[in-house]
Amino acid sequence: MPSERCDVLVIGSGPSGAIVTHTLASRGFDVVCLEQGDWVNPSDFPANQPEWELLCEHAWAHDPNQRKLPADYPLDVSASDLTPVMFSAVGGASLFYGAHWLRLLPSDFRLRSLDGICDDWPISYDDLKPYHDEVDKFIGASGLEGDPAYPEGLTYPRPPHPPGPTGLRGAAAANELGWHWWPGANAIAVNKTKTLEPCARRGTCEWGCPEGAKSSFDLIYMPQALQAGAKLIHGARVREVTTEPGGLADGAIWLDRDGVEHHQRARVVVLCANGIGTPRLLLLSGGEAHPDGLANSSGLVGRNLMLHPNCLVTGYYDDAMESWLGPAGQLIHSMEFYETRPEHDFPRGCKLHLVPIPGPLTTINVHRELPFDAVWGDSFHGVAARHAGSMLWAANTEDLPEESNRIVLDPDLTDDLGVSAPKVEYQISEDNWKILRFAVERMEELHRVAGAAETFAVELDEDQPGHLLGTARMGDDPASSVVDSFGRSHDVPNLFIADGSVFVTGGSVNPTCTIAAIALRVGTHIAETADRQPIPS
Amino acid sequence: MDSSSRLSVPELPRCLPRELSPSERRALAATADVLVGTHPSLQRPSESARFHEALDRSLLARIDSFEAVVADASAILASPRGIEATLRELAEASPDSFHVLSSVLAGAYLILPEVRQAIGYPGQERRFARFDESAEQLMNGILDPVIERGPIFRQP
């Protein structure tokens, strides 16, 4: 079923898709955004219910293979050390993200120049800064200026959330150790901001914000995009980006809820389907003319997958600290071990963050590694009561790009409409294991200095995070990259990518902040170069 | 697919798929009794009328495991080795089954307001920050050591 041709077709409505859609619609372009999921209301989220921790174990699990909602597509993770967090809905996985809102550092863009590893990005910290500033202002990002982990000029439009008793306890420990820490920067409204409500500090951010305070991109950017005239089609599962005989993209085939095929025609196509969905779609596209997938002359589509392996240490303290008090979100963060250091036997490092623990069943679960009698029976109430005096240090570690870590099409697995599912092939490198172990030791140290009575470490948090990066990297050389610095495909000049796929390296800060700035830069570039944009006939 | 069905929100049933028999309820409560032990000021699950209401909520939250949880509890109660010994065996031999069973039962117990009060957890509540709360916590010199050490980033 063919459609009217739109100016720009955006595939995916997560952070990047919402921003590109808004950027172009507000400049008068005719934009259609296709989203495979549909709307989720803040009142739907599990944290509205007292049994929310149980709801998060399955029905609202981070892992789509467990959750199996109609919008989810399956992932083959049999060859992966990690199970990525994904969520298909208007707003994408930002419904489940923690909204830690930190930019990449200047060094992140220059690993080749500084450390002789990987590749430099074709853009710099300064290139992205104005886009960051604009996004931060739009969403009302909260944080405190003056962080010495960043160059001067990083300001936030809203003040930070209070660190609370746990954050201050962690901060005092970092001070005692002489380590960097800073009040957490978060994309969570401290007060009413456009379509966002003020944070009520429930601490359940990673399972959906019942208050509508977190900047999930169904609540910010997408509403403004629709107001500006964009058309959002949800329940639209894209199967293929189509091309005309001349090689330009001319739209996409999508399947509705009943499996009926539609063809949305477009002058420009922008992929915003995340670091797994975007390479999947490219590999599904191109037909006989591109047997290795669309925009893949470099052979790099799907490769260099980076996932930021996480580790964590939960500490239990003898005094009550209202440990459930959010946001989570990060109360404080530390960049002390972010950069490459000569004394380390690994390149790069990790970003640490202190977060609350919102529910007591989680505390029971943390203790499960102990013998039966230490958790159950007459120990139970004592363990549950420890919840009030708990806090969690967690770390994103920097995994460097490796071509063998990749997304491919699974030869057997499909979604329920018969579209090939992605297979994740991802092995943690030896250097990355060193960073994970190092981070655990540092977080143990922070707890010890803070006076923890007991700690529980997880060297690899296998079902975190949802940082899906690098699978269609940007670069100046078409032989070693998929898109240019503005997200334009080297092979298909009216096909753009604006999500985490374009990262050259991943840093170890939570990436949505950078994805948002890149998306704004891509959208702005499409608008500013529209008069010379090649389009299909 | 029904075009009115929701794609991104789980559609959980409003009631259990079938009525629990009195013996099944007894088995679930008795297993919960052993798991959560005793507390000087709290009723045991088997003594609490409200526990069964909470149990229904918990079972609905893990509706995927409903029959397995009920069957495990019934088998535990019927075991001649006794509830505690059988639970220990389950924890050793089948940790996934034990995890779900114990989560549902402990989760139900932890929903009860009197239990939450006893462990010092207020439950999910809205706690808006005061407008000056952040400044009060941060503008007291706690950041001075961090600022005094100066920039820590590498400039390319």
Percent of chain A residues past pLDDT 90, beyond the cut: 97
- What integer pLDDT is reported at residue B3 of this predicted model? 63
With CB atoms and an 8 Å threshold, state whether A87 touches B8: yes
> Chain B residue with minimal CA distance to A104?
B153
* A444 pLDDT above the threshold of 80: yes
**Shortest alpha-carbon distance between residue A317 and chain B (Å):** 14
**Which chain A residues are Cβ-neighbours of B6 within 8 angstroms?**
38, 70
- What integer pLDDT is reported at residue A464 of this predicted model? 81
Regarding whether A245 and A380 lie in a shared domain, the answer is: no
Regarding whether A326 and A191 lie in a shared domain, the answer is: yes
Nearest to A214 by CA among A238, A249, A189: A189
- What integer pLDDT is reported at residue A286 of this predicted model? 84
Q: What is the pLDDT of residues A179-211, one digit of tens each?
A: 999 999 999 999 999 999 999 999 999 999 999
Q: Which residues contact B94 (CB under 8 A, 6 or more apart)?
A: none
**Using CB atoms, which residue from B8, B10, B153 is nearest to A151?**
B153
What domain count does chain A have? 2
Tell me, what amino acid is at A21?
T
Regarding whether A343 and A483 lie in a shared domain, the answer is: no
Query: What's the CA gap between A380 and A314, in Å, rounded?
Result: 18
Regarding whether A195 and A227 lie in a shared domain, the answer is: no
A409, A440, A460: which is the final residue of a domain?
A460
Q: Residues for chain A: how many in total?
A: 537
With CB atoms and an 8 Å threshold, state whether B126 touches A211: yes
Regarding whether A483 and A447 lie in a shared domain, the answer is: no
> Chain B residue with minimal CA distance to A142?
B134
Regarding whether A242 and A93 lie in a shared domain, the answer is: yes
With CB atoms and an 8 Å threshold, state whether B146 touches A198: no
Regarding whether A390 and A320 lie in a shared domain, the answer is: yes
The total of other beta-carbon atoms located within 10 Å of residue A444's CB is 16
Regarding whether A118 and A86 lie in a shared domain, the answer is: yes
Alpha helices in B6-48 (DSSP H): 22-36
Helix axes A125-139, A512-528, angle to 10 degrees: 100
Secondary structure class of A31 (helix, strand, coil): strand
Regarding whether A89 and A194 lie in a shared domain, the answer is: no
* B66 pLDDT above the threshold of 90: yes
- What integer pLDDT is reported at residue B27 of this predicted model? 98
Choose, out of A49, A56, A57, the residue to mutate when testing the contact with B (most B CBs < 10 Å): A57
With CB atoms and an 8 Å threshold, state whether A387 touches B5: no
**Using CB atoms, which residue from A114, A148, A202 is nearest to B124?**
A202
Query: What's the CA gap between A397 and A338, in Å, rounded?
Result: 9
With CB atoms and an 8 Å threshold, state whether A37 touches B137: no
Q: Average per-residue pLDDT in chain B?
A: 96
The full set of domain ranges for chain B reads: 22-119
Residue ranges of E strands in A131-271: 182-183, 231-234, 237-243, 249-255, 261-271
Percent of chain A residues past pLDDT 70, beyond the cut: 100
Q: What is the pLDDT of residues A131-171, one digit of tens each?
A: 999 999 999 999 999 999 999 999 999 999 999 999 999 99
Regarding whether A49 and A197 lie in a shared domain, the answer is: no
Question: A163 lies in which domain range?
Answer: 152-205+310-398+429-460
Question: What is the average pLDDT across A379-384?
Answer: 98
* A409 pLDDT above the threshold of 60: yes
* A512 pLDDT above the threshold of 60: yes
**Shortest alpha-carbon distance between residue A494 and chain B (Å):** 31
- What integer pLDDT is reported at residue A108 of this predicted model? 98
**Using CB atoms, which residue from A114, A150, A335 is nearest to B156?**
A114
> Chain B residue with minimal CA distance to A380?
B36
Regarding whether A29 and A133 lie in a shared domain, the answer is: yes
With CB atoms and an 8 Å threshold, state whether A388 touches B121: yes
* B36 pLDDT above the threshold of 60: yes
Q: Which residues contact A166 (CB under 8 A, 6 or more apart)?
A: A321, A322, A323, A325, A331, A354, A356, A391
* A68 pLDDT above the threshold of 80: yes
* B1 pLDDT above the threshold of 60: no
Which of A2-6, A127-131, A376-380, A495-499 is predicted least confidently? A2-6
Q: Which residues contact A399 (CB under 8 A, 6 or more apart)?
A: A306, A307, A308, A309, A405, A428, A429, A432, A506
Q: What is the pLDDT of residues A130-142, one digit of tens each?
A: 999 999 999 999 9
With CB atoms and an 8 Å threshold, state whether B88 touches A380: no
Regarding whether A240 and A116 lie in a shared domain, the answer is: yes
With CB atoms and an 8 Å threshold, state whether B153 touches A339: yes
With CB atoms and an 8 Å threshold, state whether B154 touches A235: no
> Chain B residue with minimal CA distance to A166?
B137
* A355 pLDDT above the threshold of 80: yes
- What integer pLDDT is reported at residue A136 of this predicted model? 98
With CB atoms and an 8 Å threshold, state whether B146 touches A181: yes
Burial label for B101, CB within 10 Å (0-12, 13-18, 19+), is buried
**Using CB atoms, which residue from A59, A87, A178 is nearest to B12?**
A59
- What integer pLDDT is reported at residue A1 of this predicted model? 54
Answer whether residue A327 is part of any domain. Answer: yes
Q: What is the dihedral of CA A59, A60, A64, A65, to 10 degrees?
A: -30
* A223 pLDDT above the threshold of 80: yes
Q: What is the pLDDT of residues B111-146, one digit of tens each?
A: 999 999 999 999 988 999 999 999 999 999 999 999
**For residue A356, what is the domain's CATH number?**
3.30.410
Helix axes B49-61, B95-111, angle to 10 degrees: 130
A439, A460, A481: which is the final residue of a domain?
A460
Answer whether residue A422 is part of any domain. Answer: no
pLDDT band at A463 (very low <50, low <70, confident <90, very high): confident
Residue ranges of E strands in A387-480: 390-397, 406-414, 420-426, 454-458
- What integer pLDDT is reported at residue A211 of this predicted model? 97
